[in-house]
């Protein structure tokens, strides 16, 4: 083929050995054409990285192609691109020398358990020797035997690590601390006193945390190394010693129609709560970074299944009446592709709130120095989460809009901005397994893909020069909870793997070792048939999540199989959580899963299954390498088909769907009369009108702001830092299209 080729392309030029391949093909072309005196670099062989936006190699190939066409067809086409310009990787996500990071992670976890078991064996032997020594001293004064046993015990004791000795020495003190009536802990230098007993109606004192009654040193060590009390490494039972008093983990998802309408729903959901924990759903127009418009492919989606937000004004309306800087307020936003833009709007909204409060106090406009102080303080106290997980989008959710590498760069820019501004209470990403599960993955794949994505972000941020303890506390996770047995321990396994890897591989501090996660009950388990049964499924899933000490929880409404939830169905969904946390007696205890044989076994086998999946991903070049071959998407599709087949055949019984069918199903009239939540035409029109007013008001300023944004992006500056200014003058769609010009649109790897 080389004998007849006008142009030769070697794609994926970022791969190891590509330079050698280029040289060999150049030589072969030279030999086939007998161009012995020509420079090898003038051979028409081009290295390209086609998956990379504005790739120099691909541009060079295009210039050469134009030249060939002009020669052969007699055309006079022109291009500004130059031939023979070498390509290079623009945004290196994972350096070549770090591509086997997942293998190192599995080695770290397995190594931790191996060392733990070795220590358990030594500790058990020591316990046995001390028991024998005590028995000998009681029954006979055989000095030789006593000396021999003491020598053996001393030798075994020396095999214990300092950590193991500390655990055994402090065991009695630890048990005594939890046996009392009050427990004192410190969180960020703040002393918190927790009452350890709750009195039941029968007059019994129900303990918050129960420790095992082990005496054997080996059993004590095994329990501490694998389980431990909540709030202590490896955080299997939870990352905090106790649940927060006065703030239930309830975080209900809402979003519909206009920002004003969703704002009303937020106030309805949180009206009786001291803590305002809001979770925001955006419509698909917003999710894809577009502005509301009369275009046929946009108009019908405006405000449907989520709120329409396209300007800073919209964001201010959305959270009107909520103090975004109050310590009891926390806002989560489910947005990914345009997440940096939406997050910049949110941060501006929080700053604007505090500026108005300060100006009202002073009775005048703030000086620049005062404004800077307010902005700095706001960024340091605002609480919440933005999803912004672009790896999961490629694997299972599909709302990617920018090229993957550019999207990852912006994620890194957000985190760097957070570090620079000391943003400690806001999570820069919610590494999400929920959508992977909703796309069809089983719980093992959900957990493995999610954690491996998380470790990929860690490696990327480290490659950008960030310190592990500067960014790891800003990472959060998001899981689905179905009814499979593995979901019972999904949080336990995630916390243990993360803690061990953060400490033993990355050398992270205690705060960085704590994996905090949100759970949403499974949307996939909701069925349109017998929709009242959905609340039963949701209740079981919520109970599993709360007993596993999730950090926040959303319970789905029973009618979400059909529509955006109504006020009635949302109230029932909230009641599920409240009944579990307020009425369910066992929920007064905060480590109910510990000590159950099946829970311990499930934790171990699920963990090993996750590590095995890490190995498979590692063998495909890590997360990004596996994505190139569609490994994650393919596996999700296979598992989805397996589930659907089992459901279709009845092998997987689903009550009211494929078994125990309703003999008196709802009539067509009942179904037609069901309340369906939809955005009205007036709401859609009002969003378009408000957008046009905003764009008209800022027409000249927007042009300047967008040009500045593109310059920052091209020059390698921090895009998010500039977005904090851009969103004040330009709309979501305007900004998205400007970033397309410098970062490229998303294209799936094939």
729 Cβ contact list (under 8 Å, min separation 6): 698, 701, 702, 704, 705
Burial call 273-294: b when 16+ CB within 10 Å, e when fewer: eebbbbbbbbbebbbbbbbbbe
E-strand ranges in 64-189 read 182-187
- Judged by phi (left if over 0) then psi (alpha if -120 to 50, else beta), residue 188 lies in left
Inform me whether the pLDDT recorded for 141 exceeds 90: no
pLDDT in tens, 691-717: 999 999 999 999 999 999 999 999 999
Angstrom distance (rounded) from CA 271 to CA 518:
22
Q: Kind of pairing, strands 552-554 and 517-521?
A: parallel
pLDDT, mean of residues 435-452: 97
Of residues 68 and 2, more confidence is placed in: 68
pLDDT, mean of residues 477-489: 97
Angstrom distance (rounded) from CA 125 to CA 216:
10
Inform me whether the pLDDT recorded for 673 exceeds 80: no
In terms of Cα–Cα distance, which of 530, 490, 481, 493 is closest to 655?
Answer: 530
Angstrom distance (rounded) from CA 64 to CA 50:
16
> How far apart, in Å, are the Cα atoms of 132 and each of 30, 136, 150?
83, 6, 10
Of residues 670 and 745, more confidence is placed in: 745
E-strand ranges in 117-243 read 182-187, 190-195, 197-199, 205-207
Angstrom distance (rounded) from CA 257 to CA 413:
31
What pLDDT score was predicted for residue 187? 67
Angstrom distance (rounded) from CA 499 to CA 509:
10
Average pLDDT value over all residues in the chain? 94
Angstrom distance (rounded) from CA 240 to CA 233:
10
Q: Which range has the worst mean pLDDT, 51-55, 125-129, 243-247?
A: 243-247
pLDDT in tens, 204-260: 999 999 999 999 999 999 999 999 999 999 999 999 999 987 767 777 678 999 999
> How far apart, in Å, are the Cα atoms of 495 and each of 109, 224, 572, 596?
12, 14, 30, 18
In terms of Cα–Cα distance, which of 395, 389, 421 is closest to 407?
Answer: 389
What pLDDT score was predicted for residue 750? 61
DSSP conformation class of 306: S
Question: CB–CB of 481/541 below 8 Å?
Answer: yes
Inform me whether the pLDDT recorded for 675 exceeds 80: no
Question: CB–CB of 702/729 below 8 Å?
Answer: yes
Residues in the chain: 750
Angstrom distance (rounded) from CA 537 to CA 545:
13
| pLDDT confidence tier of residue 375, bands split at 50, 70 and 90 | very high
How many percent of the chain have pLDDT more than 70? 99
Inform me whether the pLDDT recorded for 336 exceeds 90: yes
What pLDDT score was predicted for residue 415? 98
What are 502's two structure tokens?
């953060």
* H or E segment to which residue 697 belongs: helix 681-697
Q: What is the pTM of this model?
A: 0.93
In terms of Cα–Cα distance, which of 320, 321, 296, 299 is closest to 308?
Answer: 299
Angstrom distance (rounded) from CA 335 to CA 392:
12
Angstrom distance (rounded) from CA 580 to CA 564:
24
pLDDT, mean of residues 435-456: 98
pLDDT in tens, 381-422: 999 999 999 999 999 988 899 999 999 999 999 999 999 999
Question: CB–CB of 431/389 below 8 Å?
Answer: yes
What pLDDT score was predicted for residue 14? 84
What pLDDT score was predicted for residue 142? 79
387 Cβ contact list (under 8 Å, min separation 6): 332, 333, 334, 335, 336, 339, 429, 430, 432, 478
Residue recorded with tokens 């990472």: 475
In terms of Cα–Cα distance, which of 24, 19, 739, 29 is closest to 407?
Answer: 739
What are 298's two structure tokens?
């946009």
pLDDT, mean of residues 271-290: 91
How many percent of the chain have pLDDT more than 90? 83
pLDDT, mean of residues 624-629: 92
What pLDDT score was predicted for residue 565? 84
CA angle at 502 for the pair 498 and 508, rounded to the nearest 5°: 145
Question: CB–CB of 428/110 below 8 Å?
Answer: no
| Count of other CB atoms within 10 angstroms of residue 480 | 27
pLDDT in tens, 552-580: 999 999 998 888 788 889 889 999 999 99
Inform me whether the pLDDT recorded for 143 exceeds 80: yes
Question: CB–CB of 355/588 below 8 Å?
Answer: no
What are 35's two structure tokens?
């161009």
Of residues 673 and 362, more confidence is placed in: 362
pLDDT in tens, 576-622: 999 999 999 999 999 999 999 999 999 999 999 999 999 999 999 99
């Amino acid at each position: 083929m080389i004998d007849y080729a006008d142009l030769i392309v070697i794609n994926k030029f970022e791969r190891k050995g590509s330079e050698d391949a280029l040289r060999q093909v150049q030589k072969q072309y030279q030999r086939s054409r007998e161009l012995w005196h020509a420079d090898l670099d003038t051979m028409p062989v081009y290295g390209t990285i086609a998956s990379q936006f504005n790739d120099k190699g691909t541009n060079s190939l295009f210039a050469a192609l134009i030249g060939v066409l002009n020669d052969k067809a007699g055309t006079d086409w022109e291009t500004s691109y130059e031939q023979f310009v070498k390509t290079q990787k623009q945004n290196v996500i994972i350096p070549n020398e770090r591509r086997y990071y997942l293998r190192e992670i599995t080695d770290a976890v397995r190594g931790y358990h191996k060392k733990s078991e070795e220590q358990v064996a030594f500790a058990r032997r020591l316990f046995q020797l001390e028991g024998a020594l005590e028995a000998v001293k009681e029954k006979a004064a055989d000095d030789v035997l006593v000396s021999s046993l003491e020598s053996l015990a001393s030798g075994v004791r020396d095999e214990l690590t300092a950590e193991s000795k500390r655990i055994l020495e402090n065991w009695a003190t630890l048990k005594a601390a939890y046996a009392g009536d009050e427990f004192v802990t410190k969180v960020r230098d703040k002393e918190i006193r927790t009452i350890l007993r709750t009195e039941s109606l029968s007059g019994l004192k129900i303990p918050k945390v129960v420790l095992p009654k082990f005496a054997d040193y080996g059993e004590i060590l095994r329990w501490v190394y694998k389980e431990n009390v909540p709030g202590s490494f490896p955080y299997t039972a939870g990352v905090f010693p106790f649940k927060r008093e006065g703030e239930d983990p309830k975080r209900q998802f809402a979003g519909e129609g206009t920002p004003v309408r969703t704002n009303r729903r937020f106030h309805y959901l949180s009206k009786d709560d001291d803590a305002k924990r809001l979770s925001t759903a955006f419509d698909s127009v917003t999710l894809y970074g577009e502005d509301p418009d009369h275009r046929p492919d946009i108009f019908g989606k405006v405000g449907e299944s989520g709120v329409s937000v396209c300007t800073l004004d919209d964001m201010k309306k959305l959270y009107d009446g909520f103090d975004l800087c109050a310590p009891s307020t926390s806002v989560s936003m489910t947005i990914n592709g345009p997440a940096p833009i939406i997050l910049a709007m949110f941060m501006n909204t929080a700053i604007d709130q505090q500026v108005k409060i300060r100006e009202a106090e002073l009775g005048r406009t703030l000086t620049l120095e005062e404004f800077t102080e307010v902005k700095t303080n706001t960024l340091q106290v605002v609480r919440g989460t933005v999803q912004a997980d672009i790896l999961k989008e490629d694997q299972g959710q599909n709302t990617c809009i920018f090229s993957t590498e550019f999207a990852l760069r912006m994620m890194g820019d957000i985190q760097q901005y957070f570090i620079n501004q000391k943003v400690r209470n806001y999570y820069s990403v919610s590494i999400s397994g929920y959508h992977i599960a909703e796309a069809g993955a089983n719980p093992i794949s959900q957990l493995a893909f999610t954690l491996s994505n998380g470790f990929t972000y860690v490696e990327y941020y480290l490659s950008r020069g960030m310190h592990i303890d500067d960014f790891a506390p800003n990472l959060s996770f998001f899981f689905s909870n179905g009814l499979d047995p593995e979901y019972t321990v999904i949080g336990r396994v995630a916390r243990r793997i993360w803690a061990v890897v953060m400490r033993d591989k990355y050398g992270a501090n205690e705060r960085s070792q704590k994996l905090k996660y949100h759970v949403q009950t499974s949307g996939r388990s909701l069925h349109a048939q017998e929709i009242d049964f959905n609340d039963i499924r949701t209740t079981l899933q919520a109970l599993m999540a709360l007993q596993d000490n999730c950090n926040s929880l959303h319970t789905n409404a029973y009618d979400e199989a059909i529509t955006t939830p109504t006020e009635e169905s949302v109230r029932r969904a909230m009641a599920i959580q409240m009944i579990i946390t307020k009425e369910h007696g066992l929920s007064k205890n905060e480590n109910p899963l510990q000590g159950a044989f099946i829970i311990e076994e499930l934790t171990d086998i699920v963990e090993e299954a996750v590590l095995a999946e890490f190995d498979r991903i590692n063998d495909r070049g890590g997360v990004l390498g596996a994505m190139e071959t569609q490994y994650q998407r393919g596996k999700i599709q296979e598992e989805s088909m397996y589930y659907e087949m089992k459901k279709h055949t009845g092998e997987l019984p689903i009550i009211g769907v494929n078994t125990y069918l309703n003999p008196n199903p709802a009539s067509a009239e009942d179904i037609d009369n069901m309340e369906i939540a939809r955005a009205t035409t007036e709401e859609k029109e009002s969003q378009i009108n408000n957008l046009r007013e905003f764009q008209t008001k800022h027409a000249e300023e927007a042009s300047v702001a967008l040009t500045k944004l593109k310059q920052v992006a091209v020059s390698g500056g921090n895009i998010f830092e500039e977005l904090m200014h851009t969103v004040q003058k330009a709309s979501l769609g305007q900004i998205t299209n400007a970033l397309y010009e410098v970062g490229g649109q998303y294209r799936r790897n094939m």
